[in-house]
Amino acid sequence: MTFTLYNYVLSGNCYKIRLLAALLDVQYGTVAVNFHPGGEHRQEPLLRLNPAGTLPIMVTSDQTLTETQAMLVWLAQHYDDSNSWWPIHDLDTLPTVIQWLGFANRLTSSIGALRQHTLLNKPADASTTRAAGIAALRELECRLAEQSIRGEQWLAGKSPTVADIACFPYTALSPDAGIENDDYPAIRSWLHSVRSLDGFITMPGIHELHQMRDPAGASAGTLRDHHG
């Protein structure tokens, strides 16, 4: 077995690992954790694996990882022979990748927290997390628009990296938190690029791209194609 993922199907962070594993065609074992309503991640025996009481947890043959972004790097290092997902030899791109891995934590603590508040009634300061989530989306939109002017469609460099996978789930899931992402064209185009990757898998709550409400409201409740 390559690794075991302690997994919750509705967790955006667990999904990052499932997604990159699917893109790299890696087989692995899962342990389903009753995150809600069971709260198993905050009890023994899981607390012994991760004292922080969070998911995902990845157990490999020689280590236990409890930070999602580190797990993405581990996966890419072990299973991406092209070294493009974690461009360890591209010293111009690597710092940018790390920058956006850090940014992914901001998406978790803003949109991720507000989504849990909205869907699972977890405590959160809704107006602060909402403002932080919108600020993060605006920042992401600026970056992706700049990249598009350079003729590049990914967060760092010319091909997708772990940074794109780290930032994808909570951006795509933002409507679950009550933050629409339709109004960000560069983000929409990037979401489409990620969804188009060979081997892409989805998760509940990630909406089909190109399906947007008619802005004029002419045909309320219907969806229309919006190819960008």
Ligand X SMILES: N[C@@H](CCC(=O)N[C@@H](CS)C(=O)NCC(=O)O)C(=O)O
> Which structure tokens are listed for 34?
């009753």
Chosen residue from 30, 54, 84, 193 binding ligand X by CB under 6 A? 54
Pairing of strands 212-213, 57-60: unpaired
Q: For the chain, how many residues are written?
A: 228
CB 164 to ligand X: min, Å? 16
Separation CA 144–CA 190 (nearest Å) = 7
Q: Which amino acid is at 98?
A: I
Nearer to ligand X, 7 or 161 (CB): 7
CB 117 within 8 A of CB 123: yes
Chosen residue from 6, 12, 93, 107 binding ligand X by CB under 6 A? 12
Site for ligand X in 92-131 (CB under 6 A): 108, 112, 116, 122
Q: Is 98 exposed, middle or buried (0-12, 13-18, 19+ CB in 10 A)?
A: middle
CB 7 to ligand X: min, Å? 11
> Which structure tokens are listed for 67?
């930070």
User: Is residue 152 at the binding interface for ligand X, with CB under 6 A as the rule?
Assistant: no
Site for ligand X in 163-222 (CB under 6 A): none
CB 41 to ligand X: min, Å? 6
Chosen residue from 68, 147, 174, 181 binding ligand X by CB under 6 A? 68
Residue 13: other Cβ atoms inside 10 A = 22
- Contact positions vs ligand X (CB under 6 A): 11-13, 41-42, 54-55, 67-68, 108, 112, 116, 122
